A = this chain, B = another copy of it.
Amino acid sequence: MKVLKGACLFGQSGGPTSVINASAAGVFIEALSQENITAVYGAEHGIKGILNERFFDISREDREELELLKTTPSSSLGSVRYKLKSEDVDETDYIKLLEVFKKYNIRYFFYNGGNDSMDTCNKISKYMQKSGHECRVIGVPKTIDNDLAITDHCPGYGSAAKYVATTLMELYLDTHVYDTGLITVVEIMGRNAGWLTAASQLAKYKNLGPDLVYLPEKAFDLDQFIKDVKRVAKMKKDKVIIAVSEGIKDKSGKYISEYASTVTRDSFGHAQLGGLANFLANEINRATNIKVRPIEFSLMQRCGAHLASATDVEEAFMAGVMAVRSAINGETDKMVIFRRDEKSNKYKINYDLIDVNLVANAEKKVPLEWIKDDNSGLTQEFVDYALPLIQGDFKAPLVDGLPRFVKLKKELVTIKQ
């Protein structure tokens, strides 16, 4: 294996998670310990920070603060949603990226994100290779949606799933305190894959979960939905809890939330913001005489680090570490994945690598056979799959009863050419 000496650059991309910074901690702490890595940079707002040469010098950060990254939610370097155009269409960004990579002698590039970010990794790597700038590129997975291909699961999912299950259990108790009817509609994130909504089954497994669960994997039918709700209401004295993915679609493939934004216009004719939960609550309200309460887990489900899963924090951290070690060992154009050790009695993950372009444009959905026909939830297979991912607590130290999150110095790097 050829020794490659140079700077390492890390960026965060896409929607944040509770443990996204744990991967940053893994990359940074490991990179700082590698003798062939001459400098460790964090890009501000991912690819945008590279294009604008906004790099934080990570060697100037205190080690204790880097440790606090593990328990601080939401991309501490800043994130971005920026899709690189194909270089055939517009080479401008690539030319700038190459210039910057050369200027800062970036030989190791780690990018943390979902499938779009893996596409970015792939494009940048290919362009650097073509241009003769040797650089090893490794993707670090991240998404609460859990929709990346091949990997057993994604860092970020376990903590979001723990938030969803725990909060649903608490809501179950809250919505059952009165002996009067109440239908609660809880909207959970997940645009195309229902993994996070499926986590409501973990609450159900504890007998404190929703009665009805709707994932995007199955076509949503409003009439059937109302029938389901009425059926459960009749059985359960008008007490119904419903978990619904924001990404449910009808059989034509149209998001139900699109109907919501068409229908809900105020008296000025302005389209109303928000929510699938509101829309469904109104539909139920119209069809029954039962009180309905729409609830959105909103951003809380992806930043609720006080409910992070220790397993998830550890794995997110290790994903960062493994990315660096793999690159040092000569790997490039790969993404770190988790393989579940099926031979082990206990839950055990092995870290592995796959070609980044296998992930770039794929999407992993909840297997249809895990979704119960009567919309009452998921099968035991799902519980067996998801339960190990939410184990253990690991959260920020408390100061004044409140979390002490990381405070980075964020000293900008300046290189004169």
Contact = CB atoms under 8 A, between A and B. Distances in A.
Nearest to A16: B177
A263 B263 contact: no
Interface in A375-415: 387, 390-393, 398, 400-403, 405
B170 A73 contact: yes
Chain copies in complex: 2
Contacts of A203: 402
Nearest to A285: B273
A270 B296 contact: no
A342 to B, nearest CB: 20
Contact of A402 (B73, B165, B294): B165
A278 B286 contact: no
A374 to B, nearest CB: 24
A179 to B, nearest CB: 5
A203 B404 CA distance: 11
Nearest to A49: B179
A166 B270 contact: no
A13 to B, nearest CB: 10
Contact of A267 (B78, B176, B265): B265
A364 interface: no
A293 interface: yes
A363 to B, nearest CB: 23
Contacts of A402: 162, 165-166, 169, 202-203, 206, 390
A372 to B, nearest CB: 21
A373 B402 CA distance: 26
Interface stretch (A33-41, A99-107, A146-154, A301-309): A301-309
Given A274-B281, A299-B293, A401 B309 contact: yes
Contacts of A170: 73-74, 300, 303-306, 403
Contact of A174 (B73, B309, B403): B73
Interface string A128-149: 0000000000000000000000
A80 B401 CA distance: 32
A173 interface: yes
Contacts of A174: 16, 73-74, 299, 302-303
A401 B405 contact: no
A79 interface: yes
B403 A387 contact: no
Contact of A178 (B45, B184, B262): B45
Interface string A155-187: 000000010011101110111111100001000
A178 B78 contact: yes
A180 to B, nearest CB: 9
Interface string A65-87: 00000001111101111000000
A388 to B, nearest CB: 8
A96 to B, nearest CB: 18
A298 interface: yes
Contact of A81 (B162, B178, B295, B400): B178
A48 to B, nearest CB: 7
